[in-house]
Structure 1
Amino acid sequence: MDKLQGIWGGTNRQNWAAKWIHIGDAQCILCDLNLKKEAFVEATEAWLSALTAFEVAKRLIDEDDEQSEEILAKVESGIQRFGSSLEQKVERVKLACVDRGEFGAYYLPGAKSHKSSPAVICISREEETEAALLGRLLPVVIGRSISLLVVSHDDLSNHSRSQSKNFFSCCVDYLSARPDVDAARIGVYGEGLSAVLATEFAVFDRRVAAAVCDGGLWNWASTLASVSWMTKTSDIMDDDVTSSRRLRLARRLTCPALVVAGGRGVVSASEAIKLQADCAAAGIDLELALSCVSQTPIGEIENFVASDNRIFAWLEHTLAAVQASDHFMNSGHDSEDLLSIIDLR
């Protein structure tokens, strides 16, 4: 992914996408062969390689290209065929919400299923299915001691804000009731406009222990645009006023947050850097991750493998720190004792 610009050459994007689709198909065949031989480790590796290849292909073509639907069909078929063969078996689950009935989601247990693991509610970006997001994340999270509940942005977009909050609360309730999930270590992760929803939910429900979100920057940008339109001016506000308004929602977050900027996200790198600096000065636990992108003849293409690894390493570490904090506080230690033995950063 980091070398796309150098290897592009004279080959057009359609040919590159076709090559990656071919790689994914070949890995699916290899997975089938290994399953027949009961070589489950090799089968898993082949299938995860196929999922990554399909994701690369999807990023090399236009979003409205008919090949996108074909790739999604391959991913969904693979989840149905191979998901139950994994050591961490993918489950299709139904959740019930009082004001909106049942909705579907995917659940992936943590690697150490005999223990209560942390869990993360993952929300797909707009116009992306939960299967598409799960297919991209599986190669990153398999083997990690973290459970996933993957839901679709579209299940939220046609409902009011209060209904959306109830939707998220249903997700937390479902995870909290599972014996393989530690209810004190539930995080939320959203990308695209779902990063905005993740921020709002982390503010709304204090059971959220970690959030990968936009840190309130989308609402800040909307407010800034509205002020400029109403005043018919593009004058820059005073730095102190700007910093105060940018921090308004971030201050309401009661859990550690990671803001991902750049790439295909809604958060600009420059605003995210400013927000992180403001939060550091205010003592707010907010970190920043900049998306890794490659410049190609068709524009920027995000190295999603590197970005996703960074995000879930942060989630795993942050939620583990919550467990360590609870253990030591319950043992009579104070915060200085805890900081002396665990690096929370």
Structure 2
Amino acid sequence: LSARSPAGEVVTIPWLDGHALQGYFLPAPSGSGQAPTVICIGEPGHRKEEFLFKLVPHARERGFSMLALDLFGDQRDDFIDALLRRSDLESAIPCVMDYLEARSDVDFARVGIIADGWGSSFVARAVMQEPRLAAAVCDGGLWDLHERAYFASRFAMSDLSIVPVPHAPLMASSADCPVLITLGEDGWLKADRARQIVQNPRLGSSNVMLKVFTAAETGAEQGHADNPSLANEYIFDWLESRLGAAARRI
């Protein structure tokens, strides 16, 4: 952090129950004025350090500042058990937005978020509740919708009262900011099922874009593990188109 130019910094962001988030704030290469900023946060179980080599180059090339976060704070890996018992993980994101709003070097009208990992939909739920975000890259609530549809079909013939069918629209129909969903056709959630959910007239929204990476172009594995650079180039190009282009610097 200290060796890069401009230098990065370690930040602490209060959250709940005395547990604080920790992150790395990496200023835009211009080093002056207010810059569009991307929050990169790992799903439960992911550490922020991986973003320093996986995502920072893409943000820097496009003139973005970047805030890399995870949910662990200063806790050990076994803190994941406590995190997964929480039903309010999405409450972390408004705290992060409050922190960025107070920084003089952030263009707060141009803040986006990337949810990395596809382990849950907590960032999708946060986007529903956080009108200050200008763009989001996440699973769009697809996993939640897929699981609830499965339970509905599984229990429909026995006891409808226990089927966890959502009564309020998920992010796909209520997000104010543009949302990009990316997945590989060989990932956990099949591409045809994802398209079916996104194109459902009851859930669909012109603000939601689905990009499926095929085996032919690579990036088709879960989490785009076979070619993460390809997927990340696409994601940051999309963010640049939404948050505004900046002078490119390498």
What TM-score comes out, normalization by structure 2 length? Answer: 0.76
- Counterpart of 2:206 in structure 1 is 284
Q: What are the equivalent positions in structure 2 for 1:264-343 lying under 5 Å apart? A: 267-278=189-200, 283-291=205-213, 293=215, 294=218, 301-320=225-244
CA deviation map 1:292-343 (0-9, x unaligned): 6549xxxx9521111001111111211128xxxxxxxxxxxxxxxxxxxxxx
Q: What are the equivalent positions in structure 2 for 1:166-315 lying under 5 Å apart? A: 166-193=91-118, 196-231=121-156, 248-262=170-184, 267-278=189-200, 283-291=205-213, 293=215, 294=218, 301-315=225-239
**Bigger CA drift: 204-213 or 116-125?**
116-125
**Cα gap change, 1:301/1:179 in structure 2, threshold over 3 Å: closer, same or farther?**
closer
Indicate if the aligned counterparts of 1:217 and 1:271 stay in contact, CA closer than 8 A.
Answer: no
**Per residue, is there more helix in 1 or in 2?**
1
Q: Structure 1 stretches (4+) deviating beyond 6 angstroms? A: none
CA deviation map 1:222-251 (0-9, x unaligned): 111111221359xxxxxxxxxx99x75411
SS at match of 1:259: strand
CA deviation map 1:48-83 (0-9, x unaligned): xxxxxxxxxxxxxxxxxxxxxxxxxxxxxxxxxxx3
- Counterpart of 1:148 in structure 2 is 66
Q: What are the equivalent positions in structure 2 for 1:22-171 lying under 5 Å apart? A: 83-97=1-15, 99-154=17-72, 157-158=83-84, 160-162=86-88, 164-171=89-96
Indicate if the aligned counterparts of 1:190 and 1:213 stay in contact, CA closer than 8 A.
Answer: yes
Q: Alpha-carbon deviation of 1:175?
A: 0.9
**Cα gap change, 1:90/1:159 in structure 2, threshold over 3 Å: closer, same or farther?**
farther
Q: Alpha-carbon deviation of 1:186?
A: 1.5
**Cα gap change, 1:264/1:138 in structure 2, threshold over 3 Å: closer, same or farther?**
farther
SS at match of 1:221: helix
Indicate if the aligned counterparts of 2:46 and 2:117 stay in contact, CA closer than 8 A.
Answer: no
Distance 2:214 2:50 in 1: 20
Distance 1:292 1:108 in 2: 32
Distance 1:167 1:100 in 2: 13
Distance 1:192 1:264 in 2: 15
Show structure 1 runs of 5+ residues with no match.
1-82, 234-243, 322-345
Indicate if the aligned counterparts of 2:127 and 2:171 stay in contact, CA closer than 8 A.
Answer: no
Show structure 2 runs of 5+ residues with no match.
74-79, 159-165, 246-250
**Cα gap change, 1:318/1:97 in structure 2, threshold over 3 Å: closer, same or farther?**
same
What TM-score comes out, normalization by structure 1 length? Answer: 0.57
Bigger Rg, structure 1 or 2: 1
How many residues of Structure 1 are paired with residues of Structure 2 in the alignment? 224
**Cα gap change, 1:116/1:275 in structure 2, threshold over 3 Å: closer, same or farther?**
farther
Letter in 1 for 2:210: L
CA deviation map 1:273-309 (0-9, x unaligned): 2344347x955211122236549xxxx9521111001
Indicate if the aligned counterparts of 1:215 and 1:259 stay in contact, CA closer than 8 A.
Answer: yes
SS at match of 1:219: helix
Indicate if the aligned counterparts of 1:291 and 1:303 stay in contact, CA closer than 8 A.
Answer: no
Q: What is the CA RMSD across the aligned residues, in angstroms?
A: 3.2
Where relative contact order (Cα < 8 A, 6+ residues apart) is larger, the structure is 2
SS at match of 2:206: coil
Indicate if the aligned counterparts of 1:212 and 1:257 stay in contact, CA closer than 8 A.
Answer: yes
